[in-house]
Chain A
C-alpha cells in the first residue's frame, strides 16, 4: 500500500533541492543588484585629496603654498576624560564647547570620527601634540590651506573656497563633490584644472557599524592622488610688493608688462587686502567684511575698472592716421581752440609736436580727416563709414573687447560702434561733430588699465603685442600655457610709423612729466587724465623703458589724483627704476609718492 510513498519522499527531497538552487540562481547569478548593494554596504570610497599646485613668481620665489592645518577629531566611544578642567585648558576650549562638540559627534556616530575642534593652527598644534596621547579617542586630521608668504597680489592670485551648488551643477564630468575646495577667483580660479591635481581614491572596508576594517583587496583598486601642477607666474614679486607699497593709501591700478612677451610683471589693485585673510577658518567672516568694505578691496581694478583713455589715446590716433595715410610726420594743424580747449604750447604743430604737447585741436582736425574720407555725399553716411573703418583699426590695439588675460571677469572696455550712435541719435542723424570727442580719447569710449598697459607694450614693440598673462609656465613647461599667450598679435600699423611716436613720447616726458625722467634710462611716456564727473580727475600715465630696448611697459592709474603728470607718472617712474635697476636712486620722489593720499 505504501510502495510509492518512499518515492514521493525522494522526489520531494529533490524538489526542495531544485527550488532552493533555482532561487539561489536567481539572486546570485541572474541578478547583480545584490553585488552592488553589498559594495555599498561594506566598501567605502575615501577620497585622497591631492596637494594643490604651488605658485612661484618669475624669479622663483614662492607666492602661494599649502599650509597644513589640523582638525582635532573625536571618536566618542573611545573618548575618555578624567579631568575636564585640565582638558579644556590644554585644548583651549570651554566646557560648554566640549560638551556640545561631544554630543554632536555622538549624534552623528559613536564609532566614526567627527571634528571636535576645527582648523587648529600649526603653533597651537605643536602645543597640544604631546597631550594627545593622554586622551584616547582623539586624533588629528591634517588638511592644507593656502598660504601667502608675502601679503600681495591678492586680486591677481585669487582665493579658493567651497564649491557652490551652481558650480557643482555645471560640473558635468562629476569631478567635484560637495564640500570640495575650488579656485573661485584670480589665478586660482582660471588655472583650477591645472592646480587641483587628480583626486585619488582609497577603498576601505567598513563593518556594519562603520568601523574601518582595512583596505579593500589590499588596495588593489586604490588610486593615488596626483599633486596639482605648480605654476610659474610672470609676476616679479619684488616689483609687485614695491608697487603695492607705492599705491598704499591710494585708489587705482598699476599694470606692468614685459613688452616682448606679454608677461605681466606686476598687477596692482589698490586698495587691496592680505590674501591670508581669505584662507582657513576665518574665510567666511573676513570675506563678508571685505565685501562690505566701501573701498572695494575685492574689486580687481586693473581688469575691471573702466575709464575713458584720455590724451593717451592720441598716440593710437596718430598711428592709425599714419597707417591710413591721412597723416604724415609733416601734417600740420593749428591749435584752434574754438574747436576744442587746449593749453599753451607752440602753434601750429606737426605730428611730433602734437604728440609731445598733446594738442587737442590737432587731433580734432586729424580725426575728422580720418573719419570723413568723402566716400559718400551724405556727411552722415560718410561719418558712419569712416567710423566703422576706424573702429576696426582701433580694435586691433586690443581695445573695445576683452584682451583675454588669464583671469575671469575681465572687462573689455568699449569703443562705440555706428549702431551705438544710431540707437542714441537715430540713423542718419549723427555726424563728425557728434563724435569728435573720440579724437582725444573722451566721450563714449572706455578702457581698462590692463588695456592701457598693453598699449604701452604695443608702442614699445612697434606694432605687436602678446596677450597679457600672469602665468608663464605650468609645471615648469612654458609650452603648457594656452597657445594664445604664445601667439603674436599684429596691430596692423607698420613698424616705421612708431619711430616718430616713440621719439615724441620720450620728449614728452620732459614736458608733461618731468618728474618721471630717470638718469641714464630713456623713458617714453604719455600722460593722461581720465575725466571724473564725480570729483577730482584720475591721474593716468603710460610708459615704456628703456626706449632703445624696452623691458617694461607700464600703465598707472591713480584715482582722484588730478593731472597725470604728478602721481601717476612718478609712480610709473619709480616702478621702472625698481624693475630695471633693482633699487631706487630718488628717495625724495619715493617719499613724494608715498605721501600722496587721494582717497
Chain B
C-alpha cells in the first residue's frame, strides 16, 4: 500500500520512455545529418549540431525536473498570465527579432536563439484549457465557440506578422481538441469538404473538369431526391458556390507570394522543376527512397550527409532516418509516434477534470499535426512547410517547447487524483 502512494509511481513512465526514445534516436540522426567523414568529429563535439543538441537535451532535462517538482496547480493558475506574456512576446518579435530568411521569428540572446512562436503553443494550450474548464462552457454555443476561436486566433494573427505561415498553421491543430470537446460535427464535414475541393481545384489544372463534375453531381442529387423547388435551388446554388470557389482559389493562388505558389504547385507535380522549387521535395524523396527496406546503415547515407537535402538536421531530419535506417527504421519511429499519441489519448481520457483533459488533447493535437505534416512533406504528400518533427529535429526552441508541452501534461496526469472536480 505504501508503494502505491509514492509520487514516482503515479507518473506515466511509458510516455516518458517513448519520449526519451524519440529524443535519443533524433539526436543520433542529427549527428548523422551533420557527420562529415573527413572531419570525423565526435557526436559530443560542441562545434557541430549534435553536440549543441546535447546541450538542449540537458537543459530540457532541467526543464522537466522543474516542471515535475513544481506545484501542479501552478500551471492552471498561471495559464492566462503565461498566455498574456507570450502574446506580448509575439507582438514585439516582428520589431525586435532577428531577421532570418525574410522572417523575424527569432530572439537572439547571446549565442542562443529562441523562437517565441514555439513556446506560445503550450501557453495557448493552457489558456484554452483554462477557458474551457468553466462548467458552463459549451462548444454547442456560438458564443463559446467564438471565445475558443479568439484564444487560438490571437497568437496566429501575431505569428502571421513575422510572417511564419508554417507555425501559424499548427494552431489549426486545436480543432482536433475542439472536436473531442464537443464542437458540432458539421463544422468538420464542411471543413474537410472544403479542403477536398481546394485540393481538387489546385490539383486539376483545367477548371472545366471541375465545372462538369460539379454539374453532374448536382444533377444526380436533384434527380435522386424529391423535386422541390427549394431543394433544387439549394443544390444549384451549392454547385455554383463550389465552382465560384474553384475559380477564386486559382485567383488567390496567383496572388500569393511566388515561393508559396511554387510550393503548392510542386506538391502536385514534383518534377515540375526538380533543380529549382522542386529541389527540396525531390532531394528529400531521393534520400528517403534510396534507403530501401533496411537502409544504408548508420552514417552511411550519402544524400543527407552531402547536403543534397536542405535543412536536413531540422525540418528534414526524417530524411536521414529514412536513408540510413530504411523503411524498417521509419516503421519503428512512426510506431513510436503513434504509440505516444494513442497513449496520450488514453491519459487524457482518464483525467478527472476538464482542464487536464483539454490540455491533454491540445498536446495530442499539436504533436499529431507536427508529426503528420512534417513527415508528409518530406515524402511529397504535403507542401513544404517549415515545421519541425517533435523531439527529433535539431533546435533548442523546438525541443524545449515540445518538452514543456508534454511534461506539463505528464505532471497534470500524475496529479489526476488531486485534480478531482468540475468535470463537465
Contacts and interface: CB of A to CB of B under 8 A. Distances in A.
What 4 A-B pairs come out closest when comparing CB atoms? A34-B289, A38-B290, A207-B306, A42-B302
A153 interface: no
B307 A9 contact: no
Contacts of A29: 292-293, 327
Contact of A214 (B38, B283, B334, B368): B38
Given A17-B337, A27-B285, A42 B322 contact: no
Interface in B302-347: 302-303, 305-308, 322-323, 326-327, 330-331, 334-335, 337-338, 341-342, 345
Contacts of A12: 176, 368
A10 B289 contact: no
A23 B286 contact: no
A41 B286 contact: yes
Given A27-B288, A28-B327, 18 more contacts: A6-B348, A9-B364, A16-B368, A17-B338, A20-B334, A21-B327, A21-B330, A21-B334, A24-B322, A24-B379, A28-B289, A31-B289, A32-B292, A37-B289, A41-B302, A208-B307, A213-B37, A217-B300
A24 B327 contact: yes
A35 interface: yes
A42 B338 CA distance: 33
B290 A37 contact: yes
Contacts of A214: 37-38
A38 B379 contact: no
Contacts of A19: 381
B179 A28 contact: no
Nearest to B340: A13
B39 to A, nearest CB: 10
A572 interface: no
- Greatest chain B CB density within 10 A among A2, A12, A16, A28 is at A28
Nearest to A34: B289
Nearest to A218: B37
Interface in A534-590: none
B400 to A, nearest CB: 24
A28 B293 contact: yes
Contact of B349 (A6, A37, A39, A217): A6
Contacts of A88: none
A543 B341 CA distance: 102
A9 B330 CA distance: 22
B306 A20 contact: no
A98 interface: no
Contacts of B372: 16, 20
B335 to A, nearest CB: 7
A33 interface: yes
Contacts of A207: 305-308
Interface string B160-181: 0000000000000000100111
Contacts, number: 127
A5 interface: yes
B182 A13 contact: no
Given A14-B338, A35-B289, A42-B308, A21 B302 contact: no
Nearest to B310: A208
Contacts of A41: 283, 286, 302-303, 306, 308
A72 interface: no
Contacts of A37: 286, 289-290
Contacts of A206: 306
B368 A27 contact: no
A237 B176 CA distance: 92
A490 B322 CA distance: 73
10 contacts: A9-B345, A13-B345, A17-B335, A20-B379, A23-B376, A34-B288, A38-B286, A42-B306, A205-B306, A207-B306
B306 A5 contact: no
A278 B296 CA distance: 49
A10 B371 CA distance: 15
A13 B289 contact: no
A2 B286 contact: no
Nearest to B330: A24
A16 B365 CA distance: 13
A173 interface: no
Nearest to A216: B302
Q: Number of contact residues on A: which range applies?
A: 35 or more
Contact of A43 (B291, B302, B364): B302
A34 to B, nearest CB: 3
Contact of A24 (B180, B288, B300, B364): B288
Interface in B94-124: none
A126 interface: no
Interface in B264-310: 283, 285-293, 300, 302-303, 305-308
B375 interface: yes
Contacts of A43: 302
A1 interface: yes
A523 B396 CA distance: 100
A166 interface: no
Contacts of A23: 376, 379, 381
A519 interface: no
- Greatest chain B CB density within 10 A among A10, A24, A39, A209 is at A24
Nearest to A8: B179
B290 A34 contact: yes
Contacts of A17: 334-335, 337-338
Nearest to A24: B330
B379 A5 contact: no
B303 A1 contact: no
Interface string B28-51: 000000001110000000000000
Interface string B14-36: 00000000000000000000001
Contacts of B381: 19-20, 23
A12 B176 CA distance: 10
A79 interface: no
Contacts of A39: 290
A25 interface: yes
Given A9-B364, A27-B285, A34-B285, A20 B290 contact: no
Given A13-B342, A20-B334, A207-B306, A27 B379 contact: yes
Contacts of A25: 327
B368 A21 contact: no
Interface string B349-374: 10000000000000010001001100
Contacts of B181: 2
Contacts of A213: 36-38, 305-306
A25 B329 CA distance: 11
Nearest to B302: A42
B338 A13 contact: yes
Contact of A5 (B179, B302, B331, B364): B179
A571 B280 CA distance: 78
A5 B300 CA distance: 44
A548 to B, nearest CB: 74
A41 B286 CA distance: 9
- Greatest chain B CB density within 10 A among A2, A29, A42, A217 is at A42
A234 B372 CA distance: 77
Contacts of B330: 20-21, 24, 28
Interface in B233-248: none
- Greatest chain A CB density within 10 A among B288, B300, B381 is at B288
A37 B283 CA distance: 9
Nearest to B182: A2
